[in-house]
Amino acid sequence: MKQTKTFRLVMYAVLGSMAAALMFFSFPMPMFLSFLSIDASELPVLFAALLFSPIAGIVVAGIKILLYTLFMGAGDPIGMVSNFMASLLFVLPVAYVYRHFGSVKGLIAGLGLATVFMAGMMALLNYLVFLPAYTWLMDFDLGSQGLLSIALAGILPFNLFKGLFISLLFIPLFLKLFPLLQEKSYGAHLQRKTAANQ
């Protein structure tokens, strides 16, 4: 299959709407704070980043969050931004590590690294940006101690769990789907590799 620009455009759109569709089936986890919910919407974003390019990952994450907002209402803009940031912070490290090693081991290392990286960065971002944004909206000062404890005790373990959940879903998906896709030689870097071998 020749990879045209049209094909890439359509593919990003399809992956984006898949991600949004998966996001509709989100569910809150009983042991975490009620406003944190988990879903499988990161899977298509990961696919885009690994099959095409990290930029494709960003595009698909953007489509996902915009679609979700359009269909579910813009009641929580801060949550939308933080969800988008979490997508990027998770998917980009996976894409870069995988591209560097290019094997299943590389993928697993990338997923592990990305989980820790995303959870750490999201705790930091929540402490510095998102939680203060909420308290500003609520016009109430929780104090830096209060913010710190929510970020460390609430946000950090949740994102570690979320990263683990997505990784556990993605690895079997990747193992089953990638040979199939490689055969069809989707993906710019896969094509480049075959070209280099010839």
Q: Which spans of this chain sit near other proteins (rule: CB under 8 A)?
A: 1, 4-7, 9-18, 20-21, 24, 34-35, 40, 43-44, 47, 59, 63, 66-67, 69-77, 134, 137-140, 168-169, 172-173, 176-177, 180-181, 186
Contact call for residues 43 and 19 (beta carbons, < 8 A): yes
Q: Is the CB of 72 or the CB of 116 nearer to other proteins?
A: 72
Distances (CA, A) of 191 to 2, 36, 55, 177, 185: 10, 39, 17, 17, 6
Q: Is the CB of 59 or the CB of 111 nearer to other proteins?
A: 59
In angstroms, what is the minimal distance from the CB of 168 to other proteins?
A: 6
In angstroms, what is the minimal distance from the CB of 79 to other proteins?
A: 8
In angstroms, what is the minimal distance from the CB of 59 to other proteins?
A: 7
Give the phi and the psi of residue 27 in degrees, each rounded to 5.
-140, 140
In angstroms, what is the minimal distance from the CB of 181 to other proteins?
A: 7
CA distance 118 to 159: 7
Q: Is the CB of 129 or the CB of 181 nearer to other proteins?
A: 181
Q: Is the CB of 31 or the CB of 180 nearer to other proteins?
A: 180
Within 13 A of 136's CA, how many CA atoms are on the CB side?
8
Q: Is the CB of 115 or the CB of 117 nearer to other proteins?
A: 115
Q: Which residues, in sequence order, are CB contacts of 190 under 8 Å at separation 6+? A: 51, 181, 182
Tokens 């975490």 — which residue? 32
Among residues 143, 42, 154, the alpha carbon closest in space to that of 88 is found at 42
In angstroms, what is the minimal distance from the CB of 94 to other proteins?
A: 17
Q: Is the CB of 52 or the CB of 127 nearer to other proteins?
A: 52
In angstroms, what is the minimal distance from the CB of 30 to other proteins?
A: 14
Classify the C-alpha dihedral 81-52-92-163 as positive or negative.
Answer: positive
